[in-house]
Amino acid sequence: MISKQFCLIIFCLLGLSCAFLTEPQYKKRSLKEKYIENLLHAQQGLDFSTQCNNVDLANYYNGTAMSGYLNVGIKNSTSALGFVFFGAKGVPASQLKNIPTIIWIEGGPGCTSMYGAFIENGPLYIIQQSNTTFTFKENSFAWTNDYNVIYIDQPIGTGISHAQNKSDIPVDEDQVAQQFYFALNQLYNSENGCFKQVGINPIDTPLFIYGISYAGKYVPSIAQHIVQKGNKFNLKGIGMGDGFTSPYYDTQSLNKYSYDHNLITLDQFNKNQVKVQSIQKFIKEKKWKNATDLFLELLSDVNPSNIDVYNIGRKEFPDSSYLDNLINSQYGQELFSFKLDKTFVQCDPVVYEVLSTDFIKEDCVARVEYLLQKGIYVHVYNGDLDLIVPYYTPQLWLPKLSWSKIRHFIEAPLRVWRQGNTGTIYGYKQQYDLLSFSLILNAGHMVTEDQPEAGYHLIKDQINYVLSKQQF
């Protein structure tokens, strides 16, 4: 991942206390005042301490909008995770604690969750009218129609987040989870944490963590750490969309999916199989560099026509430069109180470099097993047009999970999934007890971007299912 295109292909395998939008007792600051404050920070050194900022989106969104930073606990370091938060639509800030809350994490490693916030399932889409003028339009199928959603750029160095030193960036999933857990404590318990300020708390508020692509590693790793620490945040379930949870089985499914979808010939398939077997052998032997180098070669070999690996039905890769333009603009930094110490990019090459060894490691399936054994709901979903993490991948590793009820899940039928009893067919579902698998039709790697309506019902159906099974 050196160029942006290469970065995306590899990756997507893949505040100071201030006013609340709906709370009159807090004094709101104008954009001009906040911009002047940011300029002062820039002159004196940007402030990345745990903080919570109001975001005035009243002209576009009927709900609480906030942003900020979360310290990750590195001694003598200002490294911090950045985020934007949207309270559920139409719900006063004082009542947000009664609404299920979702943490959304993008993949990479090193890709921004602002993509999820403004292109996939967040409440607003960006409209760029000129080089310096931006507005927003409502996403009818936003997850915030029913839930609070916080979009966190992680690990540090990603997107709007800040890494003071390259050495601060985590090198594996254990370090990712440790830093994220510290940040969550800040979010919930610091007086400057947004959840603390609006009253979101573990007693009243069930928590879910969702993410896509490389977050298929992040999400179970973070969730495992939360549970091991006593589940103090009331985590109920996790979800991984087109997740790179198992590089071992993704290697195998890449070649088969490509052949089954007429992207390569039988001769090419057979030649690729030699490489597949070598990669899997290297993974078993923990020869991570050898495995990664061959894996990157395989990605090219299974796609000789250079089609869009994120959606094989798409004729050209969509332009999302307006996201970079907004966040790098004076307007975007004023509006969201972003404190950038570098040019914002959607996927950060330094983060990818630091986590390059972690990339091919095969350790996150065991984390999923741990979560199931501890009673955490696990939702795995995939678009059927994704080449880079084909739906074959979870169909290979899910049946092999070490879980007492896995036989019941395997025997559960794959049912048609539609809106209501006679509505639009979204895809197929397989579900038993704590484990669910969903296949979404006509969707690629970014399911909620390609099929926003299906993506909305995907999350709503799953959270309703989980909460109907649990008392909290």
As a whole number, mean pLDDT of residues 131-157 equals: 96
- Asked if residue 249 lies in contact with residue 147, where contact means CB atoms within 8 angstroms, the answer is no
Give helix 247-260 / helix 266-284 axis angle, nearest 10°: 180
Per-residue pLDDT at 423: 81
Which of the four pLDDT bands, split at 50, 70 and 90, describes residue 12?
very low
Question: Which backbone phi and psi does 277 adopt, to 5 degrees?
Answer: -65, -35
Read off the amino acid at residue 465. Y
Q: What is the pLDDT of residues 226-237, one digit of tens each?
A: 999 999 999 999
As a whole number, mean pLDDT of residues 96-124 equals: 97
Average pLDDT, the chain: 90
Least-confidence region, from 293-297, 338-342, 381-385:
338-342
* pLDDT exceeds cutoff 70 at 14: no
Could you tell me which residue, 46 or 168, shows the higher pLDDT?
168
Per-residue pLDDT at 383: 98
Per-residue pLDDT at 132: 85
Per-residue pLDDT at 420: 72
As a whole number, mean pLDDT of residues 326-336 equals: 95
Per-residue pLDDT at 282: 97
Q: By three-state DSSP, how is residue 262 classified?
A: coil
Question: What are the beta bridge partners of residue 124?
Answer: 138
Per-residue pLDDT at 419: 80
Which of the four pLDDT bands, split at 50, 70 and 90, describes residue 145?
very high
* pLDDT exceeds cutoff 50 at 26: no
Which of the four pLDDT bands, split at 50, 70 and 90, describes residue 317?
confident
Q: What is the pLDDT of residues 379-388, one digit of tens each?
A: 999 999 999 9
* pLDDT exceeds cutoff 70 at 7: no
Per-residue pLDDT at 421: 64
Read off the amino acid at residue 190. S
Q: What is the pLDDT of residues 30-62, one digit of tens each?
A: 444 454 444 444 434 678 889 999 999 999 999
* pLDDT exceeds cutoff 80 at 193: yes
Q: pTM for this one? A: 0.90
**Ordered alpha helix ranges (H), 70-145:** 114-115
Per-residue pLDDT at 287: 96
Per-residue pLDDT at 43: 37
* pLDDT exceeds cutoff 90 at 11: no
Beta strand residue intervals within 309-420, DSSP E: 377-383, 415-418
- Asked if residue 55 lies in contact with residue 66, where contact means CB atoms within 8 angstroms, the answer is yes
* pLDDT exceeds cutoff 50 at 412: yes
Which of the four pLDDT bands, split at 50, 70 and 90, describes residue 471?
low
As a whole number, mean pLDDT of residues 360-368 equals: 95
Give domain limits for the chain. 1-241+316-383+402-422+433-438+446-472
Burial-class residue 158 by CB neighbours within 10 Å (0-12, 13-18, 19+).
Answer: buried
- In residues, how long is the chain? 472
Candidates 336, 372, 398; CA nearest to 153 is 336
- Asked if residue 49 lies in contact with residue 78, where contact means CB atoms within 8 angstroms, the answer is yes
Could you tell me which residue, 472 or 129, shows the higher pLDDT?
129
Candidates 159, 144, 56, 67; CA nearest to 105 is 159
What fold is seen in the domain 1-241+316-383+402-422+433-438+446-472?
A: Rossmann fold (3.40.50)
Q: What is the pLDDT of residues 209-227, one digit of tens each?
A: 999 999 999 999 999 999 9
Could you tell me which residue, 120 or 48, shows the higher pLDDT?
120
Give helix 288-301 / helix 247-260 axis angle, nearest 10°: 10
- Report strand pairing: 124-128 vs 134-138: antiparallel
**Ordered alpha helix ranges (H), 99-211:** 114-115, 173-189, 194-198
* pLDDT exceeds cutoff 50 at 13: no
Q: Distance between CA 81 and CA 316 in Å, rounded? A: 32
Residue 116 structure tokens: 């999820």
